[in-house]
Amino acid sequence: MAACGNVETYAAAQVFYWVGFNGMAYVLDVFLADTSSLKNRALWFSFSTAPYIATTFIGPPAASSIYKTSGWPWGFGMFAIITPFMTLPILYVLYNNQRKAAKQGVLVKEKSGRTWVQSVVYYFWEFDGFSLFLLPFSLASYQYNTWGSATIIAMLVVGLLCIFAFPFYERYLSVKSFIPFHLLTDRSVLGACLLSGCLFISFYLWDSTFNSYLQAVHGLSITNAGYVYNIYSIGSCFWGIVVGIAIRVSGRFKWIALASLCLQILGVGLMIHFRQPSQGIGYVIMCQIFIAFGGGALVICEDMAVMAAAPQENVASMLALIGLFTSVGGSIGQAISGAIYTNKFPAALDRALPGNATLNALLYGSLTEQLLFPIGSPERTAVIYAYADAQWYLTIVGTVFLVPCFVFIIIWKDFKVKDLRKVKGLAA
């Protein structure tokens, strides 16, 4: 990302970045799950995200300083140096234990059982279905015939066919299944996965344009916008520790999840009213705090639900499964958000600034262009109106996706993790 000179390179860099980032997070979760008892696991999981509390305060001023001095490429480039260095301790621990396991004959590498041709087919079904189906939601508005474009229709049709063919292929044709279908029949696992998907659909609906909204509508600086934007990170991480302690003491998490969902819906629902230009930034911050506390607890509880329902040797599969639903939910949320934003924002600009197609295109495509016009000017007023219009739709849809989450939590078994005896230290 530091060296990219066009959007194609940036998109490719994003693929590598998120594969690596999610891979590191997954390995850390499996490590914690495999070295802790179930009753303490929520607390350990919450501690693993505690560093975000510190980085929340460091990040915004650092971003502002880098942007004004060395330039944004160094904002990415420095982490290409810092990240490998900071991962050395855990890499040493994992590598050392892997060598010990190999010498003892505990670790045996399994073959996939697929030829390279079968692997191509396998990953085609696995990835292309979602990609082809989700991309048109963001790209349709750029086509001459919008949703009537042959390209958009073809992507939707082929994507849907791949998605529907994927379960059939996994169940009957795949040598080794990607998804443990037998575990999806467990109501706690299924409910937790669906909850995870809907939570991230809702989150990315209102979060995708939140930072630019703060700067353009409320006139916040990069630093202050970063602080407000990161309320979710610091709040969810702090409250996650509180929830971890509560689960450790009470041994239960189902009712914590239900109460947290109420708080989450309250926060997102209030944003429908408070994400308007006539409302003060304090109300926006209040909503963020509600969402942070609710979301922080729900993420911990959904992880606990799948780990309590599965045998210890399947914990890694369960974490991967809920991670899959999280990623798919996030992709769907971003796709819907992109579709709403690309359709509502430019249309609102055209209504507010009629006959200024060139200027409107610049304002739509660049936050920097938006901030060039002072608050109170006709151009900035039009931008604020466009954000308000788009945010109204985004927050309503985000709230709607949270409603079925009540059902997904209610169907969980009411586990008491203090009474469950899970064996530690198995290869998960």
| Structure confidence by residue, pLDDT tens digits, 57-110 | 777 777 777 777 777 777 788 888 888 888 888 888 888 888 887 787 766 666
DSSP-derived 3-state class of residue 402: coil
Global confidence as pTM: 0.80
Q: Which tokens sit at 21?
A: 């980032």
Q: What separation in angstroms does the CA of 265 have from each of 125, 155, 244?
A: 35, 34, 21
What are residue 109's phi and psi, to 5 degrees? -75, 125
Question: CB within 8 A of 62, min separation 6: which ones?
Answer: none
* Model pLDDT for residues 137-155, shown as the tens digit of each residue: 656 655 666 667 777 788 7
Q: Which tokens sit at 92?
A: 């040493």
Of 334 and 401, the one with more pLDDT: 401
pLDDT at 427 over 80: no
Output the pLDDT for position 260: 94
Output the pLDDT for position 422: 57
d(CA 192, CA 412): 8
DSSP-derived 3-state class of residue 71: coil
Q: How confident is the model at residue 426 (pLDDT cuts 50, 70, 90)?
A: very low
Q: Among candidates 298, 302, 312, 278, which has minimal Cα distance to 384?
A: 278
